[in-house]
Each structure stands twice: as C-alpha cells, then as structure tokens.
Structure 1
Amino acid sequence: MAELALYQILLANLVVLAGACLQGVVGYGIGTLSAPLLFLISPVLVPGPLTLNATLLTVMMLARNRMAVRVREVRLAIGGGVVGTCLAAATLMAISPRGFELIFGVLILVAVGLSVAGWRPRLSGRSSVLAGMASTFMGTITAVGGPPIAMIYQNERGPLVRANMSAFFLFASLLSLSALAFSGYLGAREWLLFLVTFPGVIAGFLLSAHFVGRIDGERLRGLILGVAGLAGAAALTRGLLSL
C-alpha cells in the first residue's frame, strides 16, 4: 500500500492481535492498548481502521458471551452514547489534522488517568448513561472508549462484564462509524487499511479463548496502562511539535 510500508502493516497486525486477545480475556482493551501504538506506527491507522476492527471483534465476543447480557444497563449506556457520538462528530468537523493529533494525545492520557484513578462508581442507570456518553465521545475520536464504561463494571462478574461491554461496544462502534463517515474520517482508505489489519483481530480473538479464566486481567493492567500512557504522551508531543 502507498500509505504504509510492509513492516508497518505487520506491526499493526501484531498490535491489534495483542489488543484483541486482551479484550477477549478481560472484556475491553483493544482501544486502550492498540490505539496509541497504532498512532505511533502511522496516524492513518486511527480512528477509522481500528474502530472497524473493534466492531468485528465485538461481534465475535458478543456471540461468545451473549447469554450473560443484562439488557437494562446496556440500553441506558447506548442512550448516553448517542449524545457522546454527536458531540464527537461536531468536534471532528471543527478541528484541523494538527488539532486531531493534540486532542488524540490528550484523550489517551485522560483514558489512562480514568483507569488508574481508583474511582469505583456503582453500576446504575445514571452511571450507565454518563459512562456511555463519555465512552462514545472518546471512542469516536481515539478508538479508546473502554475506560469510562469499564469503570462501572469493576465490581461485576467476568461473564457479565464481557457480555454487557461487548453489547455496548457493538452499538457504540456503529454509532462511532456513522460519526466518522459523516465527518470525513471514514472512507475508502480506512476500509482498505481495515482489510490489511483485520487478520490480527481474528488471530487475537481465537488466541484469547485459551486464556479466559487463566490470566488475571489485573496483573496485566499496570503494563497495559504504562504502554498506553507513554504512547499517549508521545502522540501529544508529536502534535505539539507540529504546531
């Protein structure tokens, strides 16, 4: 591809493989881990191509965990997600490519900050709406929508977490893709980049089946957030240097 060298395509597949495997085990993570690293490989890999990959992953995960879905909280989170998506679309239409780099870096660091803050809100209707709004706003712009919605599921069972978050992420991804297409961030280039990177998502999802119940997600949390934080800081620096 003219946009990417072969080594960049291979690296991108490895990154989404790791993110998809992580999400298959703990319920979220493809955005938190993969987005900042993909941005450093090439900014064209986010948000559109990664959001397409995340959509494919959530379909597969929902099929695997569909029996554990609890509909009420998902419905309310999706309602908040509609508002967040509209705000994100307006933001994308208003900012320049340099502004995108800056806001991308800032939101990555916000996502990491939310993940390490230690705040444990109770799963309720109100928290579902607010988390859904924040998740889709961040997810549309950066493809990292996991931390806000993950915060309200910190105290829930593994199957419920994977099922409800997969159901939410499916609708959120569809909303985000609509916003990206409307704002000019999802076109033929992004679909082509998705086609050369989705094998990594398939491989990561299949690999995750061997680790469900065997790996404690909390043990990986610090490493994942550290990688995301460093990559987010690098993205922000890159945006500042381009001013």
Structure 2
Amino acid sequence: MTDLSLLQLILANLALMAGACLQGVAGYGIGTLAAPLLFLISPTLLPAPLILNSVVLVILMLVRNRQSLEFRQVRFAIGGGVVGAVFAGLTLYWMSPKGFELAFGILILIGVGLSLGGLRPQLNARNSTLAGVASTYMGTITAVGGPPIAMIYQDQKGPLVRANMSAFFLAASLLSISALLASDYLGRNELILMGLTLPGVLVGFWLSGRLVNRLGLDRIRPFILGIAAIAGVAALTRGLMSL
C-alpha cells in the first residue's frame, strides 16, 4: 500500500488543491507550488504521483479553455518536449536516490531563478522549442516544468495562456510518464499515491473556476517562490549530507 500517514495524505491533498487552483487561474503552478511542499511532506510523492495528477488537471483545463487553443503556436514546444523527455529518462536511469535529491534541489532553484530573472523572450518557434526541452526535462525529474514555458507566454492573454500551456503540459506529462516508466520510477505504489491525492486536484480545479477573475497572481508569487526555494535548499542539503 503506502507508508504515508493520514496526516501526510491530508497535507498532500491540501498542497495539491492549492497548486491545482493556482494552475487553473494562471495556466501553470501546480508543480511550482505543490512539488516543493510534497517533497517536504514525503519525497515518495514525487515525481510520478504529481505528474499523473497533472495529466488529469490539464485535461480538465483544456476542456474549459478549448476555444482559446492555438495549436500552431504550441507545437514547437511539444516537439522540444520529446527531446527533454529523452534526456530526463536517461538522467533518471543512471541516477541514484541520493542523486535524485541533489538534482531535485538544483533544478528547483534553477526554476526559481528563471522566475525571478526578469527575462522576456519572444513567443517564436526557436524559443518555444528550447522552452519545451527545458520544461519537459525539469518536469520529468522534479514535476516542476512551468517556469521555462511560462517565460515565453508571460505577455500573452489569460485564456490563450491557459489553453496553450495546458496543451503543452498534457503532451509533456505524457512524455514524462513514458520516461518514468522506462527508468522504473513509475509503478503500483505511485499509482496508489496518485489516487489518494487526486481529490485535492479536483477540488482545486473547481475552486479555480470561481477565482479565475479574482485572484491576483502577482500578490502570491513571492510566497510561491519562497516555498520553492526553501524546498530546493532542503533537498540540496539532504542530498549533500548523504554523500
């Protein structure tokens, strides 16, 4: 079954509820907010259970925002995602559990740095492809793939962002799942954990429908990045101490 306590499962569902609500409003965020919290609750909740839950969330978001989808824009990012998933699968295949904690901490801090960097790359084929590679690589290993792809959509309108990023995240998540299966990071226990934490995602998505025009992302962004930075440092420290 699972070694998690009832309290850990409740906390995990609350973290996923907050992350799913954020992604439903902003177009991304379940990984950036929930993954660091889940790591602090129990590293067994990452990456596969969160990525599986993300698939359900982005399907719901695609249905909600389907009229704003522009696939011609997002296809380059999806193509880059194939490359990112291959590299991530190879990384996981050769990585030890200690190495996973180090990689998690480093990639989380890179994601925070990208979010704080103030870069504003244009939405074009080259940048979309590069963002697709980076997002899928980071998302497969840490379940935090939002920052690179979000950078190229930061000047676009809300409905387009939510639709196109959902389409990308769906493709990237399916690619990540393939990489996790190939590297033996996805099995029965991860499926059980996904099922036990799915209610939080569903409640968060429902809440986002009521907050989509009310929640100001700029107000909570420092809080989200602060949580991510703390978890990244904790993972990096734990990995270094276990060497």
TM-score normalised over the length of structure 1: 0.99
- The 5 Å alignment of 1:69-108 reads 69-108=69-108
Superposed CA offset, 1:188-225 (max 9, x none): 01000001000000000001111111112111111111
- The 5 Å alignment of 1:148-167 reads 148-167=148-167
8 Å Cα contact 1:135-1:145 kept in structure 2:
yes
Structure 1 stretches of 4+ moved >3 Å: none
- The 5 Å alignment of 1:156-195 reads 156-195=156-195
- The 5 Å alignment of 1:1-243 reads 1-243=1-243
Single out whichever of 74-83 and 219-228 deviates more from structure 2: 219-228
Q: Extract unaligned runs of 5+ from structure 2.
A: none
Superposed CA offset, 1:160-180 (max 9, x none): 000000000000000000100
Kindly provide the amino acid, as one letter, of the partner of residue 218 in structure 2.
E
In the TM superposition, what is the alpha-carbon distance from 1:89 to its structure 2 partner?
A: 0.2
Kindly provide the amino acid, as one letter, of the partner of residue 96 in structure 2.
S
8 Å Cα contact 2:2-2:193 kept in structure 1:
no
Superposed CA offset, 1:66-116 (max 9, x none): 110111121110000000000000000011000001000100000000000
Separation in 2, partners of 1:47, 1:207: 24
In the TM superposition, what is the alpha-carbon distance from 1:238 to its structure 2 partner?
A: 1.3
8 Å Cα contact 1:36-1:235 kept in structure 2:
no
Kindly provide the amino acid, as one letter, of the partner of residue 85 in structure 2.
T
Separation in 2, partners of 1:45, 1:165: 23
Kindly provide the amino acid, as one letter, of the partner of residue 201 in structure 2.
V
Kindly provide the amino acid, as one letter, of the partner of residue 207 in structure 1.
L
CA-based RMSD: 0.7
Q: Give the secondary structure class of the aligned counterpart of 2:65.
A: helix
Separation in 2, partners of 1:215, 1:79: 32
User: How many corresponding residue pairs?
Assistant: 243
Superposed CA offset, 1:31-86 (max 9, x none): 00111110111111000000001111000001000110111121110000000000
Kindly provide the amino acid, as one letter, of the partner of residue 48 in structure 2.
G
Identity %: 64
8 Å Cα contact 1:92-1:183 kept in structure 2:
yes
Separation in 2, partners of 1:12, 1:71: 33
In the TM superposition, what is the alpha-carbon distance from 1:2 to its structure 2 partner?
A: 3.8
Superposed CA offset, 1:100-141 (max 9, x none): 010001000000000000000000011100000000000000
Q: Extract unaligned runs of 5+ from structure 1.
A: none
